[in-house]
Amino acid sequence: MDVLCSSSLAIHLHSRSIYPSSPPRFPFRFHRTFYYNNSIYSSSSSSCFGLSISRCNNFVHHVKHPHSFKRRKPIQISAVFERFTERAIKAVILSQREAKSLGKDMVFTQHLLLGLIGEDRDPNGFLGSGLKIENARDAVRSIWQSSNHGEDLGNKQQGSIVSSTDVPFSISTKRVFEAAVEYSRTMGYNFIAPEHIAIGLFTVDDGSASRVLKRLGANINHLAAEAVIRLQGELAKDGREPSLSSKKMSEKSSSGNAAVLRSPDKTKGKSALAQFCIDLTARASEGLIDPVIGRETEVQRIVQILCRRTKNNPILLGESGVGKTAIAEGLAISIAQAEIPAFLLNKKIMSLDIGLLMAGAKERGELEARVTALLSETKKSGNIILFIDEVHTLIGSGTVGRGNKGSGLDIANLLKPALGRGELQCIASTTIGEYRTQFEKDKALARRFQPVWINEPSQEDAVGILLGLREKYESHHHCRYTLEAINAAVYLSARYIPDRYLPDKAIDLIDEAGSRARIEAFRRKREQETDILSKAPNDYWEEIRTVQAMHEVVIASRLKNDAGASGVDDSSELLESPLPSTSENDEPIMVGPEEIAAVASIWSGIPVQQLTADERMLLIGLDEMLKKRVIGQDEAVAAISRAVKRSRVGLKDLDRPIAAMIFCGPTGVGKTELTKALAACYFGRMPCFDWT
């Protein structure tokens, strides 16, 4: 426990957080003091966990008991050590010990270097350079035993007024602390670590520390680069990255040491956009996005909104599976292929991963820092269009664990100012239900977006979409889809999978059918190999003779045709030609409507025979099939049959149900049986709600 005591303010630090508080209530075992800017700081130790710092003016305050403290009003102070981490304060205290052990009455920069080396517990030595504290002490002793110029003459008079047990800091050391504070502030850190002090030491050193490092054979630039990398690793945990502020710090530094403050080249690519977004335009240029078919009207509407001067943020509204994300990807393809107005040709569409943005943001301010960095980079780039899928999840995100009502600083509220000023341009998407229940309630956010309604495509359009995607799935599954299979996928999914939407459910049907056919082909191949190994030798010779006979017939027919056409005898070439391959390893698998129906049967639970039956024949014979199951209810059967036929021939609104029927009658006349018969004869299945 390190404590700097004060008569005016106690500052209690826990986990690098600094806030005014009442004096710590725990006993202290011993104390030590150090000086900074004519103020004496007392460092006391205790078995309690934590770190408390306070400042005293021109005197040392000895703590004996917690009840001896008096509550004081917090005042505003400016102390260098307020933001020092525990490691940094430990390095400062170690530098005082080193100065005292060497018989010096002040802490010079070489002693501060010894403190930094002693604090670094890296097995590879100080900042990974291999420097050890023992070697550094020997170098300091050897240099200052042979030279009497190691002291700061401007501080001799100041050090003379301090007792032999107190070791204040020299002017050069104070300048190092000030440089560390300035570097931390410029680079956006909220703490001062030993690495900050090391960078300040390398920048404003009076020559003493550099002599020690030169004696030890260390490279200052390499040490500073390692310190910068470690500090950037701390910022990476918060999802942030140092900005171009390092250039400002470099200008303030000397020309010889300015390079050590610049970021290494290998960290330039780790921006917030690269961490939390996916470049859809780049993926489209590489051919990694599936083509978009039949959505030209929607894409044109999005382009019109993006070209507006204000409120140029479209939001895609539609049910899950109708192709909202695919339309955004289609816009990226249009940009990559230069098929849109020149105003948008330089734009990049970046898809924001909300889960990745929020992952690991445990402390207050971490998520806000990531969003702020993302907005800053987007504004600086000037050609970024963010695509935010499931945009309704932004409302209320980031307020979990911050009270019953949250802090109010969710991601949506952070985006509103940038959207209002036109600094951020984005394409959002969500479902109709989520838009009405969550997104539309926030009027300030909803008015910044222009809705684009994405409807479910018709069955004809869905067939065109599947034909456009067929090549991708054929290449993946090494198969061939027939036109009948494409039509069957659209028809069966539209009729028997009502809880999902086209084209998503039809695409899933052909995808799983191709996977199923490929697995079946592999299974048949293994069975054939097993059968071949189990055959007798006579069976092999019989197959060979059969193939030879087929080959001779082919040769004879070719010779006859060629002789009749040109009279040239090419029998030698034909005899030397190889036999046609009977292996099906290189031939693609054919996927027809039967394979599509088998997958649809697994999904819906309806037998395959029922799915593949001709619907026209079912409608023609529906009356007779129902009358065989339900006797004496011809009028009810006729009414039900007319309703079903009217629906199937297209004489009703497709958005309305087939019919709303209520069967009335006493118990036992066949109400439930008629329902079961209709389900078995035509629909294949029918959900039943038993209200009893």
Cβ atoms of 457 and 294 closer than 8 Å:
yes
Asked if residue 204 has pLDDT above 70, the reply is: yes
Contact indicator for 249, 186 with CB cutoff of 8 Å:
yes
Highest mean pLDDT among 7-16, 177-186, 229-238: 177-186
Answer yes or no: are the C-beta atoms of 313 and 427 closer than 8 Å. Answer: yes
Q: Are residues 345 and 425 in the same domain?
A: yes
**Which residues have C-beta within 8 Å of that of residue 208, sequence separation ≥ 6?**
108, 109, 110, 150, 172
CA atoms of 491 and 463, how far apart (whole Å): 9
Domain end: 392, 421, 453, which one? 453
Max avg pLDDT among 524-528, 573-577, 613-617, 685-689: 524-528
pLDDT higher at 661 or 518 = 518
User: Between residues 206 and 436, which one has the greater pLDDT?
Assistant: 436
Domains held by the chain: number: 5
- pLDDT, mean of residues 53-59: 35
**pLDDT for residue 411 is more than 70:** yes
Would you state the pLDDT for residue 541?
A: 73
| Residue 582, pLDDT score | 43
For residues 527 and 639, membership in a common domain is answered with no
**pLDDT value at position 611?**
55
Question: Which of 564, 597, 612 is the last residue before a domain boundary?
Answer: 612
For residue 460, tell me if it sits in a domain: no
At residue 404 the predicted structure's pLDDT band, cuts being 50, 70 and 90, is very low
Query: Cα dist. 365→14, 181, 371 in Å?
Result: 17, 22, 10
* Amino acid residing at 12: H
Residue of 85, 76, 86, 52 lying closest to 66 (CA atoms): 52
Convert the pLDDT of each residue in 367-391 to its tens digit: 888 888 888 888 888 888 999 988 8
Residue 459 covered by a domain: no
State the CB neighbour count (10 A cutoff) for residue 651: 8
pLDDT of residue 427: 92
- For residue 340, the 8-state DSSP code is S
Highest mean pLDDT among 62-76, 149-163, 434-448: 434-448
Please check whether residues 300 and 241 belong to one and the same domain.
no
Of 99 and 233, which is predicted with more confidence? 99
Q: Do residues 175 and 245 share a domain?
A: yes
Question: Would the pLDDT of 317 be above 90?
Answer: yes
Q: Is the confidence at residue 661, as pLDDT, over 70?
A: yes
The boundaries of the domain holding residue 236 are 86-267
**Are 121 and 236 in the same domain?**
yes
Label residue 634 by pLDDT band (50, 70, 90).
confident
3-state secondary structure 424-475: CEEEEEECHHHHHHHHCCCHHHHCCCEEEECCCCCHHHHHHHHHHHHHHHHH
pLDDT, the chain, mean: 72
Find out whether the peptide bond into 503 is cis, omega within 30 degrees of 0: yes
Question: Is 688 a member of any domain?
Answer: no
User: Average pLDDT of 403-428?
Assistant: 74
Whether 656 has a pLDDT exceeding 80, the answer reads no
Helix orientation angle between 459-477 and 504-534, rounded to the nearest 10 degrees: 40
Q: For residue 585, what pLDDT is reported? A: 52
DSSP, residue by residue, 191-241: SB-HHHHHHHHHHH--SHHHHHHHHHT--HHHHHHHHHHHHHHHHHHTT--
Question: What is the token pair recorded at 560?
Answer: 């006859």
**Strand bridging mode 9-14 / 3-4:** unpaired
Reported confidence tier of residue 237, pLDDT bands at 50, 70, 90 = low
Residue 543 and residue 206: Cα distance in Å, rounded?
A: 95
Q: Is 54 helix (H, G, I), strand (E, B) or coil?
A: strand
**pTM over cut 0.85:** no
Using pLDDT thresholds of 50, 70 and 90, give the confidence band for residue 66.
very low
pLDDT exceeding 90 applies to what percent of the chain? 6
- Considering the domain architecture, whether residues 417 and 277 belong to the same structural domain is answered as yes
Give the Cα separation of 205 and 172 in Å (integer).
7
CATH (domain of 123): 1.10.1780.10
Query: Per the domain annotation, does 372 fall within a domain?
Result: yes
Range of 170-179, 248-257, 538-547, 655-664 with top mean pLDDT: 170-179
Highest mean pLDDT among 32-41, 245-254, 283-292, 521-530: 283-292
Find the CATH number of the domain harbouring 303: 3.40.50.300
What token pair was written down for 555? 């040769």
- The Cβ of residue 88 has, within 10 Å, a number of other Cβ atoms equal to 23
User: Looking at the structure, do residues 198 and 112 belong to the same domain, yes or no?
Assistant: yes
Place of tokens 């087939």: 658
pLDDT reported for residue 608: 63
Q: Name which residue leads in pLDDT, 580 or 612.
A: 612
Q: What is the mean pLDDT of residues 539-555?
A: 75
Whether residues 563 and 638 share a domain: the answer is no
- Stretch 576-605: mean pLDDT, rounded? 72
Residues 327 and 400 in one domain: yes
| Boundary-marking domain end, from 577, 612, 647 | 612
Which whole-number Å values give the CA distances from 121 to 116, 194, 201, 599, in the listed order? Answer: 10, 12, 19, 62
- Same domain membership, residue 208 and residue 177: yes
For 296-307, what is the mean pLDDT?
A: 89
Contact assessment for residue 4 and residue 54, using Cβ atoms and an 8 Å cutoff: yes
Q: Could you read off the pLDDT of 94-121 as tens digits, one per residue?
A: 888 888 888 888 888 888 888 888 888 7
Residues with Cβ < 8 Å from 143, sequence gap 6 or more?
110, 150, 211, 212, 215
Q: What is the mean pLDDT of residues 472-480?
A: 89
Q: What is the pLDDT of residue 58?
A: 35
Same domain for 121 and 224, yes or no, is yes
Same domain, 419 and 320: yes
Instruction: Reply yes or no on whether the pLDDT at 306 is more than 80.
Output: yes
What is the pairing mode between strands 17-20 and 9-14?
Answer: antiparallel
Question: What is the distance between the alpha carbons of residues 142 and 574, in angstroms, rounded to a whole number?
Answer: 95
pLDDT score of 506? 92
Q: Is the pLDDT of residue 636 over 60?
A: yes
More confident residue, 661 or 68: 661
For residue 638, the model assigns a pLDDT of 80
Q: Return the minimum-mean-pLDDT range out of 61-75, 275-289, 492-506, 530-544.
A: 61-75
